[in-house]
């Protein structure tokens, strides 16, 4: 069965004000829109590449939780895989995101190496159907 993969870089959804502060509400809105579009197009696997995030301060744990819920609310569920790709110094935040994005059944994991993320996301084993 063919898989549909999308790679979303942080710059595609992170929005900042003129001072360089992340506009969380707008970033969340854009991410939700991207996620809904992927679900509507039948994308069942995605890499969320947040290795390079411009803006300060970095998202808080509460904001990461809200972003994870945004993916779930947009339609990502147990039929999907999401790899969160981040730098090694922020792997704890990506792991936190993945934990809350996963819920009880969703396939979401954090990686610090693209190759590992791609290998996992392109695994030929079927994602369990509901």
Q: How many domains does the chain have?
A: 1
**Which percentage of the chain shows pLDDT scores above 90?**
18
DSSP secondary structure letter of residue 128 = P
Strand 107-111 and strand 5-9: the pairing is unpaired
Q: Beta-carbon neighbour count of residue 123 at 10 Å?
A: 13
Host H or E run for residue 83 = strand 81-85
- Residue 31 within any structural domain of the chain: yes
Q: Beta-carbon neighbour count of residue 61 at 10 Å?
A: 12
Binned at pLDDT 50, 70 and 90, residue 130 comes out as very low
- What's the domain range around 99? 5-121
Q: Which has more confidence, 4 or 106?
A: 4
- Residue 128 within any structural domain of the chain: no
DSSP secondary structure letter of residue 97 = H
pLDDT averaged over every residue in the chain: 79
Instruction: Average the pLDDT over 81-91 and give the result.
Output: 76
Q: Do you find a cis peptide bond into 57, omega within 30 degrees of 0? A: yes
- Whole-model pTM: value is 0.77
- Residue 126 within any structural domain of the chain: no
- Residue 129 within any structural domain of the chain: no
pLDDT of residue 29: 94
What's the CATH code of the domain at 56? 3.40.50
**Sign of the alpha-carbon dihedral angle for 117, 99, 103, 53:** negative
pLDDT of residue 106: 62
DSSP secondary structure letter of residue 87 = -
């Amino acid at each position: 069965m063919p898989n549909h993969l999308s790679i979303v870089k942080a710059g595609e959804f992170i929005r900042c004000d003129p001072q360089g502060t992340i506009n969380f509400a707008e970033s969340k809105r854009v991410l939700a829109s991207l996620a809904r579009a992927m679900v509507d197009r039948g994308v069942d696997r995605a890499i969320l590449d947040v290795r390079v995030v411009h803006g300060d301060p970095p998202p808080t744990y509460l904001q990461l939780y809200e972003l994870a819920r945004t993916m779930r609310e947009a339609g990502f569920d147990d039929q999907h895989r999401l790899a969160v790709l981040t730098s090694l110094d922020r792997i704890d935040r990506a792991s936190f995101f993945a934990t809350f994005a996963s819920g009880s059944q969703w396939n979401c994991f954090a990686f610090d190496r693209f190759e590992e993320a791609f290998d996992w996301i392109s695994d030929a084993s079927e994602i369990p159907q509901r």
